[in-house]
Structure 1
Amino acid sequence: MTAYVATHREMTLSSASNRLVDEALRMHEHPLITFKDGPAGRRARVVGGPDVWEIIGAIRSVRAADPAVTGDDALVAVTETSGVPMPFLRAALAYWGDFPEEVDAFLDRAAAEAAQAQAAWQRQQELLGR
């Protein structure tokens, strides 16, 4: 535990213990979910696969592209385009069902960053007269 706190300097031994216990309980309820640190912060992901927020974003993208695609058809479309197996998609969906605010916060942050990058690119193109 001391090594964990040493690499997560913003945490105390107590807060690290609380986080790890909370994550262990979540993994107990959602066996295909694990947690990983990264540039975007600590986040839920399917074991050996993408982050939960990425899967939920893909499902939303399929539904936005064709609102008539619902239920298992939406999941099949994500499986076919991403290669993520169906059990992992269902695990991500179940996790999101229990923790939507957490997952949606990552989606909102990704959307904001994409919008900022698009705006910066657009300004560059305008300056270049394109």
Structure 2
Amino acid sequence: MAKPTSIRFDEVLLARLRRRAQAATAGNASALAQRLVDEGLRMADHPGILFKDGPTGRRAALAYGPDIWEIVKFLREIDERGPSALSAAAEVFALDVNRIAAAVNYYGDYRAEIDAEIDAAEEASERAEHAWRVQQRLIA
């Protein structure tokens, strides 16, 4: 449950927040400020992680890299475990193994969120494949 609190913002910063809120959250500056504080704290706790928008909404990703859910999904699907799994992921994603470890550490703290993103991606993939099969039957 959210608890009210009072924060004082510099006038210029508050104006920027309100402009961004108008565009992003239908004018709800409080919701935007809460999201930005949450994401900022997560990024401070997990260096190398950032948040980006996309068709499924905002999600955690490696800076200049894939989404966290993509790395976790890959790690689940390979036969290797331990350090060799991290090395395999680093090779596939063309990243340093430390960046893969950062993604795994983030997953450890936000498992339910990342698992939900994986589930949503798998469902979208299944729908797309079904649509493709229907299309192939129609045009064959």
Aligned pair count? 124
- State the superposition RMSD in angstroms: 1.5
TM-score scaled by length of structure 1: 0.87
Structure 1 consecutive aligned stretches of length 4 or more whose deviation exceeds 6 Å? none
Q: Is 1:8 aligned to residue 24 of structure 2?
A: yes
Which structure's relative contact order is higher, taking Cα pairs within 8 Å and 6+ residues apart? 1
TM-score scaled by length of structure 2: 0.81
Instruction: Give the equivalent residue in structure 1 for 2:45.
Output: 29
Q: What runs of 5+ residues in structure 1 fail to find an aligned partner?
A: none
1:17 to 17, 22, 33: 33
Matched residue of 1:15: which SS? helix
1:112 to 123, 131, 137: 123
Q: Is 1:75 aligned to residue 79 of structure 2?
A: no
User: What percent identity do the matched residue pairs reach?
Assistant: 40
> Which structure has the greater CA radius of gyration?
2
Q: Do 2:90 and 2:97's aligned partners in 1 also have CA atoms closer than 8 Å?
A: yes
Instruction: Give the equivalent residue in structure 1 for 2:105.
Output: 94
Q: What runs of 5+ residues in structure 2 fail to find an aligned partner?
A: 1-16
Instruction: Give the equivalent residue in structure 1 for 2:7.
Output: none
